[in-house]
Structure 1
Amino acid sequence: MAFLIDILRRAPLCGAFFLSTLIIPSFSHAVSCSPCSAGMLEVSSIYDGDTLRLEDGRRIRLIGVNTPELGQGTADEPNAEEAKHLLEILVKRSGGSVRICMDAERRDRYGRLLAHLYDHRGDSINRRMLKQGAGYLVAVPPNLRNHECYKHAEKEARKGEKGVWRLPVGDASKLNGNETGFHILNGYIKRVGQSRSGIWLNLDGGLALRITWNDWEGFGIDDPESLLYTSLEVRGWIYHRNGNQRIRVRHTSSIHWLERE
């Protein structure tokens, strides 16, 4: 009870999506997540909205969810604290323990276990985070077990302008060239290129989207040149190579075509 009182005191700082998660019970949803029958495991600490540590010392990274970053000596990204508080209360409501179910790929490059989290009732915690707008859907093959379920949850949050969906989508043409990390951006394609490794979509402003041939097969587009001057919304992690900003696009849901639907 003391935990709930403390959460209520902090609630005004946590945004509407956080309060709604606290007081609104779970309802059935049109697109169900896969069930998880694993045993309950105790959580020792929560780093941020998409990463936690189990009592046995293992670090867990939620699959399909990317929440804003807490600052490490710098300012927090908008909604980062709210996302962390939401995960805290979802774990608390589950008695401080969660079920974890793996997918095809078990660890990320940082050695963290990649997992779908569920509470004591079998409800998807990842889905709840997305439904309340705590973060953005990310699809990284081959870990797509609950992708459609998560996609539906994010769609609800975006329609309701919850959490991160109150923030404006960035403009790729206005990047200053120094940005890194996760971004969601609008832009249009000024150049389409092909190489031995895959397709390159160069956006106005200089950002390049890289799609390997294997990943490109999922897009179902016969002629890449048909994308020239197409407007889009893209999400992913910006990295730098040879002085240029790039995003590797791994899945079709990372791009929303604004002129092809």
Structure 2
Amino acid sequence: MKLSIAALKSCAKWLPICLLPIASASQADDCAPQKIDTWVKASFALSGDTVIIQNNEFRLIGIEAPQIQKKQKFYTRGQPFAKESQTQLNKLLANHDLQVGVEYDELKIDDFYRNYAHLYIKQDGRIVNLQKLMLESGLVLAKSEPPNMKHQKCYYQAEKTAREAKIALWSLAEKRPDLHYPIAPSSEINTEDEGYHIFKGKIVKVDKSSNNYILNMNTTGIRIRKADWERFDYGKLKTLEGKTIEARGFGFLYGGSMFVKVRSPFAINRLNPVNE
């Protein structure tokens, strides 16, 4: 887009305002599909991040929905807004005749035969990213899962929009911090804080072993495996010492401490380019 001389002079006076459309366009571009592999009819949403398509389970890349409680053979503890998240995804599908565009990423199927994809719907003549809509509803969290890293800026920006508006999960985080969801404070970790959370605390030490970069909060250990080191700058990790950060991932308790594996800088708020 080229601006006229008059427009440029106007921008000199109102520079922050003139830059807004450029920033918005940049975000919109990252939300757009690089290539729609196919258009298909979905059946229904199993949860806020899983859809049944042609009798196959498709996980929506880049988001994590609250867990729905399950009481079968293996008990799964439910998380707040799980049913609302599932309902929202079903509404989005139903309102668009269940037609979805499927865009694959690097990894299409995992070891458990689950399919992974970015999904799209047609809305007012435009192709719209379904993950983005779910994140803007405040009913799911952004997630980084290499090697599937398309649209990361789009997803984290959409989550940021919902968080700033204090919608759904983000209202809960402010009004009911005692629930430890979606944000779990490292200083108050308990057995119910396993699973996908945003773990918040002060980094007391940054170190490395032969197999891991190590970032320790008081009761939470963040681990970055050697296989993922190429995505990180160890020097930048060292600058996190003494600072309070948010790191997201699946927490698991071991020996009285919580551990979280992080695979991308997007998963640490102070390293995420969306927050720069």
Query: 3-state DSSP class of the match of 1:201?
Result: strand
Pairing 1:233–2:239 present: no
Q: Deviations over 1:128-150 (max 9, x none)?
A: 10111121100111111111111
Q: Which residue does 1:31 correspond to in 2?
A: 27
| Cα-Cα RMSD | 2.4
Query: 3-state DSSP class of the match of 2:66?
Result: coil
Q: Which residue does 1:207 correspond to in 2?
A: 220
Which whole-Å CA distance do the structure 2 matches of 1:142 and 1:209 have between them?
Answer: 20
**Structure 1-normalised TM-score?**
0.80
Which whole-Å CA distance do the structure 1 matches of 2:132 and 2:82 have between them?
Answer: 17
Q: Which residue does 1:125 correspond to in 2?
A: 130
**Structure 2-normalised TM-score?**
0.76
Which whole-Å CA distance do the structure 2 matches of 1:257 and 1:160 have between them?
Answer: 20
Q: Which residue does 1:191 correspond to in 2?
A: 205
Q: What number of residue pairs does the alignment pair up?
A: 231
Unpaired runs of 5+ residues, structure 1, are 1-27
Which whole-Å CA distance do the structure 2 matches of 1:29 and 1:172 have between them?
Answer: 37
Pairing 1:182–2:196 present: yes
- Contact 2:38/2:103 (8 A) holds in 1: no
Instruction: State the structure with more CA Rg.
Output: 2
Q: Deviations over 1:6-56 (max 9, x none)?
A: xxxxxxxxxxxxxxxxxxxxxx865122324333212223211000111x2
Moved more, 97-106 or 189-198: 189-198
Which whole-Å CA distance do the structure 1 matches of 2:78 and 2:251 have between them?
Answer: 18
Pairing 1:158–2:163 present: yes
- Contact 1:177/1:244 (8 A) holds in 2: no
Structure with the larger helix share: 2
Pairwise CA distance, 1:246: 1.1
Alignment of 1:53-92 (within 5 A): 53-54=52-53, 56-73=54-71, 76-92=78-94
Select which of 98, 107, 112 maps to 1:105. 107
Structure 1 residues 242 and 91: alpha-carbon distance in aligned structure 2, compared to 1, 3 A threshold: same
Which whole-Å CA distance do the structure 2 matches of 1:186 and 1:222 have between them?
Answer: 21
Unpaired runs of 5+ residues, structure 2, are 1-23, 174-182
Letter aligned with residue 164 of structure 1: L
- Contact 2:64/2:141 (8 A) holds in 1: yes
Pairwise CA distance, 1:208: 0.8
Which whole-Å CA distance do the structure 2 matches of 1:244 and 1:109 have between them?
Answer: 28
Pairwise CA distance, 1:229: 2.2
Query: 3-state DSSP class of the match of 2:163?
Result: helix
Query: 3-state DSSP class of the match of 2:251?
Result: strand
- Contact 2:32/2:127 (8 A) holds in 1: no
- Contact 1:230/1:257 (8 A) holds in 2: no
Alignment of 1:134-145 (within 5 A): 134-145=139-150
Select which of 253, 258, 263 maps to 1:245. 258
Structure 1 residues 219 and 225: alpha-carbon distance in aligned structure 2, compared to 1, 3 A threshold: same
Q: Deviations over 1:145-169 (max 9, x none)?
A: 1111112211111111112111223
Alignment of 1:15-30 (within 5 A): 30=26
Which whole-Å CA distance do the structure 2 matches of 1:256 and 1:108 have between them?
Answer: 27
Query: 3-state DSSP class of the match of 2:187?
Result: helix
Letter aligned with residue 193 of structure 2: E
Structure 1 residues 153 and 224: alpha-carbon distance in aligned structure 2, compared to 1, 3 A threshold: closer
Q: Which residue does 1:3 correspond to in 2?
A: none
Q: Deviations over 1:58-101 (max 9, x none)?
A: 11000001111111026631111111111011111221221111
Query: 3-state DSSP class of the match of 2:269?
Result: strand
Which whole-Å CA distance do the structure 1 matches of 2:57 and 2:170 have between them?
Answer: 28
